[in-house]
Chain A
């Protein structure tokens, strides 16, 4: 029996403000509050709220036959909590229907999986806790920022106890193989991989409302027909996209939500069911391993990481940022930790891309990749100097770590000794009173 696995991503970055080199050392607030509020409320109103309402309706009206998976980035969630609590409410409602699975992803939506294992684990664990705390679900399946995946990342994720992971069904990796099966990680067979069918996914998220497309207009029965016509053995159809595709990239006026609503009924007719990622990884067996020595992602035609780390500027920014990763990890300053999350978001690197993809990229407040780079490096300069001012720079991290441990242990010891001292003092006081 064929099954559709539908998954949506919710993520919005915290926009950085215009930060000049003269501000370094003087201004430690890096964010454009106006733009953050404007963009998140706009997206919530035009996309998240109508789309989530539709998903709730679908879950309620199909008696459990419709299932969907969602993942949120921590930074996106923070923004929703502040500016669009309505979306959080809807997420809770959707969770109550029992038809929705929440996946885990890195809190910052950053590229830490490519840079620093400790930082990555920390990033993931915090999001895991957050999901557990908000929705009462313990995520079993992981999706990395922009579906970035390689063998090593797979091994790390498996090591953290995840059963499955979502990634891109990239042609250069799969070759003749089909994405419609369950695969496993080459370094750890316990981690199952669900591969995105980019054709069927992009039909909805990229092409749905394009009148020049040969399949326009697309209706649910036709779409389900394509899935039903796939060979009998191909059982898992993974359709992954950003939630903002519904409403922002494909306007609501294109009736994309009606299309979505009609999917479960059409699927039922053809005997196709919906499943969540966890159901798939527990029920089905993996057919083969997928070997991914170099990282892939779901972005651009190349499906690699070149849109974040393709040019020297991006690599310098990336290396500079993660050069302080250990220091940030050691420190306990909450503001630094928070800035660290926001600065890691992969979008910041995307703004610096110089790739010519033929599609115009919305660079936000930036004129050009150079402008984006300059602004980011200014902020990073200030951030790094703050991190360095916490502990002496000329001390290496291991030494610092052991010192910090010693200090912590000594603190604990002193506390214990004080307790004991108090105990004896009291005893002594009692005795002298007697």
Chain B
């Protein structure tokens, strides 16, 4: 089975959760042995793992240029061959010479999320037309709204079934005040899709009710986590016999509900002073949170270490006694799973998608600061609760693997292909 996948991010370059999820899904599919994945990226680094074929969209020509073989060899990075280039060149489908292209007839991408994102999305989908004409595949899989237009285009060209993957919707990002352009791209992608995979039942409901999709083609496809690398496993856990540490880790934005964390902290600190609170991350609400902590008179117990990257994230988890994710709306939320891998008990909001597959976490409503404070206090003061959540949580999260998710993907692909032939 051949899968043509459109994505915006892929490790080693990680900008957000999308890269990790894309990696997990493709890796989960690759271990089955007979699934061949071709992954289209705007701008690969060339250091991606080799278990799948990577197509750099910035090396696919859309304007015919007469280029010499040896010149190509020197111009193209090692993962694209001149033969591949010529094959793409044979499938240019329209005159795009008015576009801004380079000496190879390709378009450049800034990568990531630049100012002219909408333009890049459009370019990406133009190139997708060439790729879809040249490649042979059985199914199309597009990750998140940035690549939906490309997926729809590929479906139009090839007639193969389209599966789109909703990692987040604009409703989650904006608490309901959607950007109409983004919404229209999302809606168009969903309307054309043969199957909509949502990262949780929560997201599935958003897709059904806010985007008016047929429930029959929406499926909940929960994410998973990869086991920690040996290096990360070896980071020692820090015990705090005297002062417990409670951590919030994520973007400090409206979606993540940081103000509820501060309010809950203020309540806990009324009861006991032996707990420290850490709010790691950056975002547009950081200053407001610093003000709020000061206003509540808990600034001496409340710390803002700033944005954490790579290894620091895991060090922060291992240095915590409780991890809190009070998100107002979280499509999935991988962070609590990572915290649990590090042996840190988690408190999550009931409005988080990952809660649907987790048993050994404490779930509270994001607005219920009393319950949140109570849960924090309980884990910090009752060693047995800490121990139970730590041990059972670790066991539970170790059972959530991408391999299982890959099998679920495959079943859906097969069904889509079967139905497409009819």
Chains A and B are bound partners: yes
Name 9 A/B residue pairs within 8 A (Cβ), A-sorted.
A20-B373, A22-B271, A313-B388, A316-B384, A317-B384, A354-B388, A368-B363, A371-B375, A381-B381
Task: Identify the closest chain A residue to B267 (Cβ).
Answer: A22
Give the chain A neighbours of B383 by CB distance below 8 A.
316
Whether A354 contacts B392 in the complex (CB less than 8 A), given A21-B377, A313-B385, A374-B385, comes out as yes
Q: How many A-B residue pairs have CB under 8 A?
A: 58
Q: Known: A22-B267, A22-B270. Contact between A370 and B375, CB under 8 A?
A: yes
When distances are taken between beta carbons in the complex, the residues of chain A under 8 Å from B378 are 21, 370, 373-374, 377-378
Say yes or no for B84: interface residue by CB 8 A criterion.
Answer: no
Question: Out of B267, B374, B375, B384, which one reaches A313, CB within 8 Å?
Answer: B384
Does B199 sit at the interface, judged by CB under 8 A? no
Judged by a CB distance under 8 angstroms, whether B166 is at the interface is no
Task: Specify which of B373, B385, B389 is in contact with A21 (CB 8 Å cutoff).
Answer: B373
Residues of A278-324 contacting chain B, CB below 8 A: 311-313, 315-317
Residues of B near A313 (CB, < 8 A) are 382, 384-385, 388
In the bound assembly, the distance between CA atoms of A371 and B371 in angstroms comes to 9
Partner of A370, one of B373, B377, B385: B385
What mask results when residues 375 to 402 of chain B are scored 1 for a CB within 8 Å of chain A, else 0? 1011001111101110010000000000
**Contact residue range for chain B?**
20 to 34
Q: Which residue of A lies closest to B378 (CB)?
A: A374
**With A311-B388, A312-B387, A313-B388 in contact, do A377 and B363 touch (Cβ < 8 Å)?**
no
Task: Tell me if B268 counts as interface (CB < 8 A to partner A).
Answer: yes
Residue tally, chain A, CB below 8 Å to B: 21
Contacting pair A370 B384 (CB below 8 A): no
Give per-residue flags for B42-86: 1 if the beta carbon is below 8 A from chain A beta carbons, else 0: 000000000000000000000000000000000000000000000
Given the known interface contacts A21-B271, A368-B363, the answer about A374 and B374 at a Cβ–Cβ threshold of 8 Å is yes
Query: In A347-374, which residues have CB < 8 Å from any B CB?
Result: 354, 367-368, 370-371, 373-374
- The DSSP consensus for interface residues of chain A is helix
| Most chain B CB atoms below 10 A, which of A21, A312, A381 | A21
Please give, as numbers and ranges, the residues of chain A lying within 8 Å of B385 by CB-CB distance. 313, 316, 370, 373-374, 377
Q: Is B188 an interface residue (CB 8 A)?
A: no
Q: Is the CB of A20 within 8 A of B374?
A: yes
B370 within 8 A of A: yes
Cα distance, A374 to B363, chains bound together (Å): 13
Residue A24 CB within 8 A of the other chain: yes
Chain B hits for A315, CB < 8 A: 384
Give Cα A20–Cα B370 distance, bound, in whole angstroms: 7
Q: Is B104 an interface residue (CB 8 A)?
A: no
Are A22 and B373 interface neighbours, CB within 8 A? yes
- Identify A378's interface contact among B374, B384, B392, CB under 8 A: B374
Q: Give B275 Cβ to nearest chain A Cβ, in Å.
A: 11
**CA of A21 to CA of B387, assembled, Å:** 20
Residues in A with CB closer than 8 Å to B387 are 312
Residues of A within 8 A of B (CB): 20-22, 24, 311-313, 315-317, 354, 367-368, 370-371, 373-375, 377-378, 381
Q: A367 to chain B: which residues have CB within 8 Å?
A: 363
- Check if B340 is an interface residue, CB within 8 A of chain A: no
- Which residues of chain B are within 8 angstroms of A381 by Cβ–Cβ distance? 381
Partner of B382, one of A22, A368, A377: A377
Task: Mark out the residues of chain B between 128 and 152 whose CB falls within 8 Å of any chain A CB in the assembled complex.
Answer: none
Given contacts A22-B267, A368-B362, contact A374 B384 (CB under 8 A): no
Q: Which residue of A lies closest to B268 (CB)?
A: A21
Q: Which of B268, B363, B373, B377 gathers the greatest number of chain A CB atoms within 10 Å?
A: B377
CA distance A311 to B387 in the complex (A): 10
A373 to chain B: closest residue by CB:
B385
- Find out whether the CB atom of B374 lies under 8 angstroms from the CB atom of A21: yes
Interchain CA distance A378-B267 in the complex, whole Å? 15
A361 to chain B, nearest CB (A): 14
Within the complex, the shortest CB–CB distance from B163 to chain A, in Å, comes to 33
Q: Identify the closest chain B residue to A21 (Cβ).
A: B377
Beta-carbon contacts under 8 Å, B325-357 to A:
none
Q: A370 — which chain B residues lie within 8 A by C-beta?
A: 362, 375, 378, 385, 389
Tell me how far the C-beta of A309 lies from the nearest C-beta in chain B, rounded to whole angstroms: 12
Q: Say yes or no: B388 contacts A374, CB within 8 Å.
A: no
